[in-house]
Amino acid sequence: MIGRRLATTEALIVLVSPDSDEELETIERWGRERDLPVHAVDVGEDIDPVYDPGTEYLGVTLGGDGTYLEGVRQFSPRRIPILGINAGTLAFLASISPADLTDALTEAVDGTATIDQRQQLHVDADGVDCTGINDVMIEHVPPEDPVERKITRLEVFADEEFIGQYEGSGLAVSTPTGSTGVSLSAGGPIHYPKNNATLQIVPLHTHRLGVRPLVVDADTTVRVASGGPANLLVDGGRAQTTLDEDAIVTIEGAETRAHVVTTSYDDDFFTSVSEKLGWGVRDGKDDTGTVHVGSRGPQEQRESDLRERARRVATEAARATGPPLRELHGQTESIEYKTDKSDIVTEADYKAENIITTVIESEFPDHGIRSEETVQRTGASEYTWSIDPLDGTGNFAHGNPNYSVSIALLEDDDPVVGVVYAPETDEMFSAIRGEGATLDGKPLSTTDRTSLDECMLLSGYDPDGTFLSHSYHEARGVRRLGSAALNLCYLAAGSADAVWEYDTYPWDVNAGLVVARAAGATVTNAAGDPYDPNGPIDARNELLGSNGPLHETLLAHLQDAETLQPSASSATD
């Protein structure tokens, strides 16, 4: 999940610990000022009565780490991002001070916070079947008679491979988030928790000097066989049971990550470690890590060049549409949703448009917006955004991965910045006019082929077969992918040598046009005149794009089609 998506927050769910009334009143007042509903739920109660699956929520916890862990338990399965306010005493996970509460909330819902993916673990044993974000502790049950055995014997396996037998006071299996206190006290490492998908196996008070902690991939299934009675605790006792002799505990990385919101008001990880665990590396050194603007206010680092800033914002907005689009795309061919494809496409269009326009309105309030869907806003400046939140709706509706998100910035109706994102392949095309085009940061360039029989062509809607019938037998192949924006980007990337579109709309091609031209493409209409993407919408507007060397040949095919006959000796598809 991308922090920019928080700009579409529609309501807050707040888990409230006792003695947090003052902080809750502050949040409710802040919510009224921003017209954001605030649903308060006492910690320990279920959020289901106030939860609506169709609403974009921000989850907030008011309390210490216990309240935060309860928030993780309830919010994570619903993919609700979590913001922790430290209204308790000592807290490591919930680190925002109540004094910074409203500023941190504002930063989050403005979309300028970040969201970290935190690995969770799933535990399955007799009496426990749950998910945790910190650790699983398996410890010896203290004997009633002090002369009885005081250690436990645990056999541990990674997938089907036997690791060994641990004898001591127990074992901890932790996520990177839970690798701090217990691991440190047992001589193990501390793991940086952000976007880290691992599990750590830490033996506790063993009787062999050579026994050391192990780190495994989160996809590894860890099995622990108990040689005697043992206590099992998940996340400090949020779930617990007593294991019998020969009991089996299965631990593996959970499929659902915790979405942790981080603002400029949170202590960074190493500052927290240093301050709360006495980490000695920073002794005598100032914190030179996170740079805050003003007095820890929201970061407003603005690039001097507006176009570069526009590309960055458009890229962030486009990528933020990825998770909801991929989720809805995955439903189109399921038995449950097959009869509601049009509803899914409508919802996908709305969600993507809402994310993009909200981000742009927040960053560029004086810019105009023209979207294919519902948003049409005239701005006070010469800049206007041209948006197609879902180009390739037919593909999307049928589960085909060839769809895209298209965002362009126009200066006096001239496209100057273009961003095209393909959610299913996670490919980000972007360009600034005159500065080159990139795919995921790598430069793009069109091909230099000059012979049509060596070339791959892409065709858009071609109702009378003008392009297909007079190019198919001449070229190496003609493909129709179903997304004009992607067609232009593939031309820019050299995956195709030419593109033909019988009719275009501005929102379909503005962004791809910037990318293609910046990569060296030539783009005209069928008569060879300069292509104008923002002409009258009620008139047909054809587009011919090529690598350049092929352009005159292709124009001749289109303009003199009657004299061109397919050659049997030409290369075929």
CATH homologous superfamily of 306-442 equals Fructose-1,6-Bisphosphatase, subunit A, domain 1 (3.30.540.10)
Provide the sign of the torsion angle of the four alpha carbons 265, 271, 275, 277, taken in this order.
positive
Q: What pLDDT band is residue 28 in, cutting at 50, 70 and 90?
A: very high
pLDDT in tens, 400-423: 999 999 999 999 999 999 999 999
Is 372 annotated as ligand-binding?
yes
Please, are residues 363 and 382 in contact by the beta-carbon 8 Å criterion? Answer: no
Per-residue tokens: 168: 């001591």
Range of weakest confidence among 137-146, 173-182, 424-433: 137-146
Question: What confidence score (pLDDT) does residue 191 get?
Answer: 87
- pLDDT for 452 equals 84
Under a CB-based contact definition with an 8 Å cutoff, are residues 243 and 234 in contact?
no
Six-digit token pair at 318? 């486009």
Thinking of the domain 121-253, which architecture would CATH place it in? Answer: Sandwich (2.60)
pLDDT of the residue at 140: 85
Beta bridge partners of 459: 500
Q: Is 253 annotated as a binding residue?
A: no
pLDDT in tens, 273-332: 777 666 666 665 555 544 433 333 443 334 338 999 999 999 999 999 998 899 888 776
| Of the listed ranges 11-25, 58-72, 105-119, 257-271, the one predicted with least confidence | 257-271
Alpha helices in 181-321 (DSSP H): 181-185, 269-277, 306-320
| Residue 65 among known ligand-binding residues | yes
The set of long-range contacts for 346-354, using a CB threshold of 8 Å and a minimum separation of 24, is 348/324, 348/389, 348/390, 348/396, 349/373, 349/389, 349/390, 349/393, 351/8, 351/321, 351/324, 351/325, 352/321, 352/324, 352/325, 352/389, 352/390, 352/405, 353/387, 353/389, 354/8
User: Structure pTM?
Assistant: 0.76
Rounded distance between C-alpha atoms, residue 551 and residue 292, angstroms? 52
**Quick count: other Cβ atoms within 10 Å of Cβ 256?**
13
Sheet containing 498-501: order of strands: 477-479, 456-459, 498-501, 543-546, 522-524
Q: For 446-500, write each residue's pLDDT tens digit.
A: 999 988 888 888 888 777 766 766 666 677 777 888 899 999 999 999 999 989 8
Q: Which CATH number fits domain 452-563: 2.40.33.20, 3.40.190.80, 3.40.630.30, 3.30.2450.30?
A: 3.40.190.80
| Residue 508 annotated in ligand binding | yes
Q: Phi/psi of residue 441, each to 5°? A: 85, -10
Q: If you average pLDDT over residues 143-157, what whole number do you get?
A: 76
- Taking residues 112-136, what's their average pLDDT? 92
Please state the rounded mean pLDDT for residues 48-68: 92
Contact predicate 376/395, CB 8 Å: no
Q: What is the pLDDT of residue 522?
A: 95
Total count of residues recorded for the chain? 573
Segment (H or E) for 498: strand 498-501
Per the DSSP assignment, residues forming a β-bridge with 499 are 458, 545
Of 331, 279, 285, 223, the C-alpha closest to 92 is 279
Look over the chain and give the mean of its residue pLDDT values, rounded to a whole number: 85
Residue percentage of the chain with pLDDT more than 90:
51
276 Cβ neighbours under 8 A, 6+ residues apart: 90, 92
pLDDT classification of 146: cutoffs 50, 70, 90:
low
Res 536: pLDDT:
75
pLDDT digits (tens, 9 = 90+) for 341-367: 567 788 888 889 999 999 999 889 999
Q: How high is the pLDDT of residue 483?
A: 92
Distance CA 12, CA 31 (A): 8
Instruction: Average the pLDDT over 33-60 and give the result.
Output: 94
Residues acting as catalytic residues: 65
Q: Which tens digit of pLDDT belongs to each residue from 506-549?
A: 999 999 999 999 999 999 988 899 898 887 777 788 899 999 99
3-state secondary structure of 224: strand
- 6 in a known ligand binding site: no
Phi and psi at residue 534, to the nearest 5°: -110, 35
User: Hey, is 507 helix, strand or coil?
Assistant: helix
Q: Say what the pLDDT of residue 405 is.
A: 97
Of residues 570 and 331, the one with the higher pLDDT is 331
Known binder of ligand: residue 134?
yes
Whether 198 and 215 have beta carbons less than 8 Å apart is answered as: yes
pLDDT for res 560: 60
Token pair 């099992």 is found at 232
Q: What is the pLDDT of residue 372?
A: 81
CA–CA distance, 521 with 482 (Å, rounded to integer):
20
Residue with tokens 């820019």: 492
Q: Any binding-site annotation on 126? A: no
* SS3 label, residue 16: strand
Order the strands of the 437-439 sheet from edge to edge. Answer: 376-377, 368-371, 383-391, 404-411, 414-422, 427-432, 437-439, 442-443
Mean pLDDT of 201-225: 87
pLDDT greater than 90 at residue 101: yes
The answer to whether 283 is a known ligand-binding residue is no
| Domain extents in the chain | 3-116+259-282, 121-253, 306-442, 452-563
Confidence of residue 136 (pLDDT cuts 50, 70, 90): very high
Bridge pairing between strands 38-42 and 11-16: parallel
* Beta strand segments in 392-493, E: 404-411, 414-422, 427-432, 437-439, 442-443, 456-459, 477-479
Q: Which residue bears the tokens 């709360």?
A: 276
Note the pLDDT of residue 334: 53
Range with the poorest average pLDDT among 33-47, 130-144, 248-262: 130-144
Percentages helix, strand, coil for the chain, rounded to the nearest 5?
30, 30, 45
- The pLDDT, as a whole number, for residue 489 is 96
Q: Is 111 helix (H, G, I), strand (E, B) or coil?
A: coil
Superfamily of domain 3-116+259-282: Probable inorganic polyphosphate/atp-NAD kinase; domain 1 (3.40.50.10330)
Q: Across the chain, how many H-helices and E-strands are there?
A: 13, 31
Which residues neighbour 558 within 8 Å (Cβ) at sequence distance 6 or greater? Answer: 466, 467, 470, 500, 526, 544
The answer to whether 379 touches 363, Cβ cutoff 8 Å, is: no
Could you report the per-residue pLDDT of 371-404, keeping only the tens digit for each? 886 768 787 789 999 999 999 988 998 889 999 9
Q: Which H/E stretch holds residue 65?
A: helix 65-75
Decide if pLDDT at 1 tops 80. Answer: no
Q: What is the pLDDT of residue 284?
A: 58
278 three-class SS: coil
Neighbours of 515 (CB within 10 A): 32
